[in-house]
Amino acid sequence: MNLLSLTYALFLLGTLGIYWSVSGTHLKMWVLVVASLLFYASLQPQYIPLLLVLTWITFQLGRAIGAPPDWRIEDWQFAQQDWNRRRLRLLMLGIFIQLFLLFSFKSIALLALSGLAALFKLNLAPTEAALKTVSALTPVGLSFFTFECIAYLVDVYRGAPASRSFPRFASYKLFFPKTISGPITRYPQFITQLQSATFPRAEQFTEGLWLIACGAVKKGIFADHLGTFTELTFTNIPRVGSGDLWLALIAYGFQIYLDFSGYVDVARGSAMLLGIHLPQNFDFPYFSTNIADFWRRWHMTLGDWLRNYLYFPLGGSRRGLVRTCVNLMIVMLVCGVWHGATWGFVLWGAIHGVGLVVHRLVADWSDRSNFLTAFWSSLPGILVAWLCTQLLVMLSWIPFRVPQLKDVGLLFQSLWGKTADPQFISKVYGETLKLTPQQFSIGLLLLFGLMAIAYLFHRGLKVQINWYLKLLLVPICLYGVYLLAPQGVTRYIYFDF
């Protein structure tokens, strides 16, 4: 079920009608559980049993971890120690189960394809086609699902209350707007909203529709059209010129941002119509002036997860500068592996890890230098910091987008001094885009200008469109997507993770 389809619109409308017509939180939870299972069944019905089993296991482990110690034992100190050891073992068991399933699907499927290639002498190396085959064999949204389960178990271990009702927990874990690609949420915040949910006021209902319309515009009009260019560029690497490659990197950076943030907007809008506010996941990341700030604005719930459940347990920045840098590298390498079991994603994580380490060292050095402190606060310093940050981000998209390291090396070599194949220029720009490279460059510049205007209104002037105007613009936006989106809306990029 595509989120930008009439099928999803009818599904959401039907769910809203039933959800708000039943009385009592318990019935509403069951409506969400059934609706979520129907939604997932429209994508991969064969994995419904797996999701239910994982949900049940996590629920039972949470109850066991959250169970109080038996204070009837006379030696209460022994009982406390035994209780802590038991809780830790249960937590480790839960984390192992989640990670084992995640890496089994992401890694073993890829190794199986490589084994078949060796056995039958087939060309099934980790090409893009092979990775898409692995993705089709992997449950959609498994990474987000397992990370939420781990977060829930760790929170219960740290003292958060465990769920005592399976329907209540299942309504959180399977909630259809966020199951596939997040945002990653925490159980207490979600269930508190669900228990106190009231029918949205006109402003809230309009805001939900507005988010859905904005997400549709980002995906259908901008991301999918940019995807046409990036797909042709990255699948014709030997024929691409340096200028085309730089355009493709910028276009892909915009594409993945608009694609993913567009999905999150639709998810948040759908949840808002159900009386639930999901956390924001993007905050104008391409206006960050350092890589640490970029990760505070890009995929914010994943960054929050990595900080709270990996970086801080490793020691964070409390054990000296060297240990801090090591922890940053570990976190970003894990982030790379989380995205996929190929060396390209590992390299992508390593690039961001090195960027975070360099930023940390520069920040430490700048704290001891009045000149550097003043420079980074000046307009030229801010501009230099922004350019360096965005250059690192854009270059890191190469290994993220291209699965094979040999192609990554070829693309890095092609960044300077390479002339494009004339047939490639004619095919891509003339026949497909019907634009010249200069016109396409101006289009990317205008798109960035739109982002800058939105950033100015939201972050600088703090101006918001009133809900009356939003309600008027919603049908215009949706009709624009209907007219301007390419034939057959493409799959969301983060569905593969």
Q: Residues with catalytic annotation?
A: 339
Three-state secondary structure readout of the chain = CCCCCHHHHHHHHHHHHHHHHCCCHHHHHHHHHHHHHHHHHCCCHHHHHHHHHHHHHHHHHHHHHHCCCCCCCCCHHHHHHHHHHHHHHHHHHHHHHHHHHHHHHHHHHHHHHHHHHHHHCCCCCCCHHHHHHHHHHCCCCHHHHHHHHHHHHHHHHCCCCCCCCHHHHHHHHCCHHHHCCCCCCCHHHHHHHHHCCCCCCHHHHHHHHHHHHHHHHHHHHHHHHHHHHHHHHHCCHHHCCHHHHHHHHHHHHHHHHHHHHHHHHHHHHHHHHCCCCCCCCCCCHHHCCCHHHHHHHCCHHHHHHHHHHHHCCCCCCCCCHHHHHHHHHHHHHHHHHHHCCCHHHHHHHHHHHHHHHHHHHHHHHHHCCHHHHHHHHCHHHHHHHHHHHHHHHHHHHHHHHCCCHHHHHHHHHCCCCCCCCHHHHHHHHHHHHCCCHHHHHHHHHHHHHHHHHHHHHHHHCCCCCCHHHHHHHHHHHHHHHHHHCCCCCCCCHHHHC
